[in-house]
Each structure stands twice: as C-alpha cells, then as structure tokens.
C-alpha cells in the first residue's frame, strides 16, 4: 500500500466530511454532526481551517486526515488546535496516523507554534495510547466548556 501525505485542497472536502461523519458515529454522536459540506467549502475557502490528508496512491482515495486551525494561548503564545484526526478503520495499523501526526507537528513548527492541543474521549483507549506514545500529556484536571451560538 502506497500512501501520500499532503496538504488538503477543496477537492478533498467531500472525503474529509465523510471521515468526520464516520468519527461522529464512532464517538456515538452522529446527531451532533450538523456541519454541511457546503459549510466546509465556505470555511475552507475563508481559511478558517486547514487539513492534511492521507491519500492512497493510484486510487486517489482519502483514507485519513488531520483537520486543524491556529489559535492563541495567552499563556504560551501561538498554538495549533487539532480538531479531528481520523484514519479509515480499514487502513489503520499501517503507520498512516503516525505520518499524519508528524506532518501536523511540522505545520505547527512552520508557524512557530509553541503548543498543540486537542481533545480525546476518556473511553477511547486506542487514541489515548497513541497520544501517550507521542509523549503527549493527557490533561485530566480541566473541564471542557461550550456554548451554542
């Protein structure tokens, strides 16, 4: 299997949207996934988010992605926020996630980010193990807050 890791384009958004839908189902939150493909296109065009994709060479199928944006930490400075990180279940255990992760870190370094943050569900042991293997700190003392606008 040959996989190319590259910066995503607008042409990749249907596949990215599909992977996010799969993630929402996996996380038992399919009803909460309401962002439309049209919104993805609009927000990508406005550079509201960026995406790195893993594409199977030959077929052109997007089999994984890391969707992220840049934010600011008043304590640390520039920060990369990883919103979603998904590899199609059929393509897992081939190092694709690691390759996406490495490119994601490089994007943060290119923008002089000092910190990368994300969320992980407490029951997603495979993801937690992956992050811990990356020498990441999984914080347990902070609660998430959100407000629907």
Active site residues: 131
> What token pair was written down for 53?
């994709």
Query: Of 20, 19, 5, 16, which Cα lies nearest the Cα of 102?
Result: 5
DSSP collapsed to 3 states, 16-80: HHHHHHHHHHHCCCHHHCCCCHHHHHHHHHCCCCEEEEEEECCCCCEEEEEEEEEEEECCCEEEE
């Amino acid at each position: 299997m040959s996989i190319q890791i590259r910066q995503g384009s607008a042409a990749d958004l249907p596949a990215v949207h599909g992977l996010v839908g799969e993630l929402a189902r996996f996380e038992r939150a399919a009803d909460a996934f309401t962002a439309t493909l049209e919104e993805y296109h609009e927000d990508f065009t406005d550079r509201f988010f960026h995406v790195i994709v893993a594409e199977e060479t030959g077929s052109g199928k997007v089999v994984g992605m890391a969707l992220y944006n840049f934010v600011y930490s008043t304590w640390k400075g520039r920060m990369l926020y990883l919103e979603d990180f998904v590899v199609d279940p059929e393509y897992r255990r081939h190092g694709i996630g690691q390759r996406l992760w490495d490119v994601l870190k490089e994007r943060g370094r290119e923008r002089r980010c000092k910190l990368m943050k994300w969320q992980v569900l407490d029951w997603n042991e495979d993801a937690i193990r992956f992050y811990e293997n990356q020498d990441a700190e999984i914080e347990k003392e902070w609660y998430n807050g959100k407000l629907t606008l």
